[in-house]
Chain A
């Protein structure tokens, strides 16, 4: 089984946060100071905006009871004054609401941008090991959709939640002022509804989860028709692919329809309960009114208040759903931030390496992926400065792990690695990454021009410097064959170039940085033999005076190196020059014989 699979099975993945929603909220808030700054003032405006919603029922009551039904008949003067005051109150409310909105949006979005960036940085700070246990898409979600979910909630649901809760409270207070008996009655109708809504919300949440899963499957199916376009055509399986896409589309539509049915039902239930509450309030109100306990105006205003009371409940399921999603998203983001970077930068206290060739030493180093058997066992090797080393062995023998430990992409689970006599863990990252550079097999390129990608290794490299580096590496012919030279766009992930060409760019990128220890992990595996040999020659010249470690299954690399280290099943089994090793019976001689057999006719 591949190393990747092993890592996934072994876990060691991102932390999962188990805590109450409130605790998540508190911790989330604390992480981004923007959230809390000025929150008191905002809440004050919120209070104003909410209380203002009572203006209309109060106006209706006042006009009916005192304006029209007062002891002296209709009092138009009073009505005019009341309407004027109320109009001012309505405008003041709108102003409060505006200020509250803008303040909330600004602090929420500011806080979320900070959270996003923190999480992004943290993902990069996690070790390769942790990064590889998560699907790339999942990591991306932590800084995109998860945060977007919180943002959407803040823009709509969170605002409603705040205002609606306030509205329920102030409406209840005013209702109680008008008639406590009717208030109890209304609450009696709504308490069962609240439970029902909670239930609906659970169903709805499940229905939405289902939709999201179906969307994932739908995208997967569509991407087969897009990403797999060549294979689909080469094998003539268009119909089969179409059938799979259709299946996914139908399943998605089905899930959407189910969810919609629930939404419609929820909305109507609230509507009917509201009508029941209204009619009950009218019936009871009339009896109370006959008994002189409530005035006509108050009773009518009460009916307005019932409408105000239910409107928050009509959106409650959606709001709660959003809240739940937002909290879940927040938890996932916090989960990233809670995951300790197991390979951490010693920071400013760290040692800065001097310029010049690097010597390194492995001292009884072992490594095991979490929960798996050791892939590297008791490696003790010393490499003097300026030596060119080739590392060989079969797939899975521990070569790449060796390279990752040497470049501190991972830390050994046993033993220590030293560079120039300093424990690798004590070297500041800024110095480490500048002096020790690894070129991985997958020459990942960023969308941009060839020059942009080279500058990734040295931001201030001029075009002339890049051209010079390519000349030194013997790549000028290739550069000139490109339609736009250094400005040639490489496409997303470098897809406009062939795998071999991507490796060439990656090599130049590492080379312009002028590192003192260059680690090549099968960095030229996809280029043609003539180019590889040419590159190797160039590197031989260029790595003279610096230390280099090359991992390769093409043994031509080993032939060219000063020394070869042979790995087998996680151990170093042989070390020496090619000439010494090829002559003595052992793993190297076997590998070499097989390689030669491959090359000779």
Chain B
């Protein structure tokens, strides 16, 4: 079984290398030619040393004299071969690197293009960390064997030349060589095969340690408030212990094979000395040739391992390649039509019989489906899902402001995503001015509609770019949008104003500030349809009121949908849609809904009712006069 897997990996790994060569044939040829020069010159340097020993050194020491010409020639030969060898090394290393980096860059581009092309539903099925690692570590692993590949090819040339040189020198020397070198190559092959699963395991455990640390530090506040430091440290120590054992296991294999691989050529040299001396005695060889062969053994011992390096990298490369190809093969692109929607002013939005289910991202055992990332996830059986929308109909005339109200988990956010075609419904349709979203050309929906989520995403860029997003707005336009979003004041206070860098490497903003920047981004586009999905939840109520006021005053010629709990927001709407358990339960003016919809009334008047009940209760207590002392009693007890 194990050997079959290995031969399969070998086959697939080599196919991957073949593809790489097909993609970069010119650079690859240059690298291989340079490597061949290096290989030949390595053998050449041993040959030169042997010749110099035989023709210059030994005669000079035997005869007690030499000529400058001979010495100069010897030195020149040695240096010349070294220079050629160096040129070979430079070419080999440089072009091998160039090839590897080009392939990595090209596949990273392809992978991210896929990320941008694939529908949002696909993203929902894959954890963020996995996608980042597909574009980074997996692409890197995929092309790992490219770096030593030209060297390995040069080594093949080196071995052929060395073999011929040894045959020409002496058949017995050649026999020693033909025993020792294949033995080194074979042992190294076994070495890499035993090392590679251990190295892969260590790599995986490193990722695991990192995940534990990430999660634990992200939740540091919770760990602290619940006093779980010791338990968390134990969890981490277990993970770190597993990594330690894996690293030691890698070390044990290395520790065993490295000395063996070093001893082998040395034993070869000793064998050469033993057999060579007999051959010199027999007169079929000279001492110079002996030196040359011995020297060749010491020179070849190291590069010959390159063959093993390529083989050793293959399993990792195949795994990386599989993951990358799974992304590249993923289908389910968003199909666009070619309809374009011109026009100005609020758009007419309709939705007919929208149904939508989320595929469960988890399988029964609690394992994430994304874990089986070796399988092409589009071939995966569709898992039972949770239906969140059961046939939603909606008709919003141009310029209307509609509030969407519903309890936590009623499907509001999903509905909003469907309305701007972030996700396609399982059935039903959405139209803007009578045109089906799916019939519209690429980029048409974003040109008309802007959706602001509760979770504001901030780009790693300046304030200006975060608002303009490449639209080349004037500063005045950006400020105008910031003003409507009530973000102008704090942006002015930032050290670089509009040029302040936000995001990862920039200023960190509070939740409310982030939401306001995201809001400004939507407003700046002057959309014909503006959807606010609880987009001001982290903003102080007073500030939110100002934002909504500004929004209305700004006279944005748009249709507005707003998901909200706050009464003031709801009150501003022309109409309210009450959503519960994936169905529109009722719609109408706020007043009308209050009268006829129980669920709606309970939801939006929850605070009021709580307050009036409490007041009633307190009045009762006041009348009673006795219960007031209750807290004092408790105090006395304490």
Binding-face segment, B175-183, B304-312, B537-545: B537-545
Least distance between B622 CB and chain A CB atoms (Å): 9
Contact between A226 and B123 (Cβ–Cβ < 8 Å)? Answer: yes
B132 proximal to A (CB < 8 A): yes
Which of A16-24, A299-307, A325-333 forms part of the interface with chain B?
A: A299-307
Known: A232-B116, A532-B606. A257 touches B259 (CB 8 A): no
For window 461-504 of chain A, which residues contact chain B by CB distance below 8 Å?
478, 481, 483-484, 487, 489, 491-493, 496, 498-501
Residue pair B277, A67 in contact (C-beta under 8 Å): yes
A224 within 8 A of B: yes
Cβ of A63 under 8 Å from chain B: yes
Find chain B residues with CB under 8 A from A272 CB.
79, 82-83, 86
How many Å lie between the Cα of A139 and that of B220 in the bound state?
A: 11
In contact, A220 and B71 (Cβ under 8 angstroms): no
Partner of B229, one of A106, A124, A240, A268: A124
Residues in B whose Cβ lies below 8 Å from that of A478: 408-409
Are B635 and A2 neighbours in the complex by a CB distance under 8 Å?
no
Closest chain B residue to A73, Cβ basis: B281
- 1/0 contact string of A431-451 vs chain B (CB within 8 Å): 011100111101011111100
Binds B, one of A173-181, A201-209, A523-531, A568-576: A523-531
Assembly CA distance A304 to B293 (angstroms): 12
Closest B residue to A134 by CB, please name it.
Answer: B217
A226 B128 Cβ-Cβ under 8 A: yes
Contact B136 A222 (CB under 8 A): yes
Task: Find the B residue at minimum CB distance from A532.
Answer: B606
**A560 contacts which of B255, B490, B614 (Cβ < 8 Å)?**
B614
State whether the Cβ of B445 lies closer than 8 Å to any Cβ in chain A. Answer: yes
Q: How far is the CA of A136 from the CA of B206 in the complex (A)?
A: 18
Q: Could you say which residues of chain B place their CB within 8 Å of the CB of A245?
A: 108-109, 112
Distance of B519 from chain A, by nearest CB (Å): 12
* B629 in contact (CB, < 8 A): no
Main secondary structure, interface of B, reads helix
Residues of A within 8 A of B136 (CB): 215, 218-219, 222
Chain B residues with Cβ below 8 Å from A537 are 610
Asked whether, in the complex, the Cβ of A386 is within 8 Å of the Cβ of B250, the reply is: no
The answer to whether A531 touches B93 (Cβ under 8 A) is no
Complex Cα spacing A120 to B217, Å: 9
What residues of chain B lie closer than 8 Å to A113, measured between beta carbons?
Answer: 237, 240-241, 243-244
Interface residues of A in 384-403 (CB under 8 A from B): 384-387, 394-395
Which A residues touch B120, using CB under 8 A? 229-230, 233
Binds B, one of A79-87, A186-194, A316-324, A370-378: A79-87
- Chain B residues with CB under 8 Å of A221's CB are 460
Closest A residue by C-beta to B504 = A220
Nearest chain B CB to A220 CB, angstrom units: 5
Contacts known (A128-B220, A237-B469); A256 close to B74, Cβ less than 8 A = no
Q: Is there a chain B Cβ closer than 8 Å to A223's Cβ?
A: yes
Does A161 touch B at the CB level, under 8 Å?
Answer: no
Contact B93 A264 (CB under 8 A): yes
Q: Is B443 an interface residue (CB 8 A)?
A: yes
- B225 CB contacts on chain A under 8 angstroms: 407, 409, 433, 437-440, 510
Q: Could you tell me if B213 and A599 are in contact, using CB atoms closer than 8 angstroms?
A: no
Partner of A124, one of B216, B248, B252: B216
Rounded to whole angstroms, the CA-CA distance of A113 and B274 in the bound complex is 48
- In the complex, the answer to whether B108 meets A264 with C-beta atoms within 8 Å is no
Task: Considering the complex, give the chain B residue whose CB is closest to the CB of A595.
Answer: B541
The listed residue (B82, B217, B229) touching A271 by CB distance below 8 A is B82
Residues of the A chain whose Cβ atoms lie less than 8 Å from the Cβ of B4: none
Complexed CA–CA distance, A131 and B221 (Å) = 9
What residues of B have a CB within 8 angstroms of the CB of A253 in the complex?
Answer: 101-102, 104-105
A550 to chain B, nearest CB (A): 14
Which residues from A are CB-within-8-Å of B75? 279-280, 282-283
A37: chain B residues at CB < 8 Å are: none
State whether A230 touches B408 (Cβ < 8 A). no
* Residue B172 interfacial (CB < 8 Å): no
- Assuming the A-B contacts A265-B90, A556-B611, are A249 and B407 also in contact, with contact meaning beta carbons closer than 8 angstroms in the complex? no
Selected A-B contacts with CB under 8 Å, 30 pairs? A1-B493, A5-B509, A56-B298, A68-B287, A94-B260, A101-B259, A105-B248, A105-B254, A116-B209, A117-B233, A140-B213, A155-B247, A222-B108, A222-B136, A223-B128, A230-B457, A233-B422, A234-B451, A263-B93, A268-B87, A276-B82, A280-B75, A286-B56, A295-B61, A307-B295, A440-B225, A456-B228, A483-B360, A527-B408, A528-B408
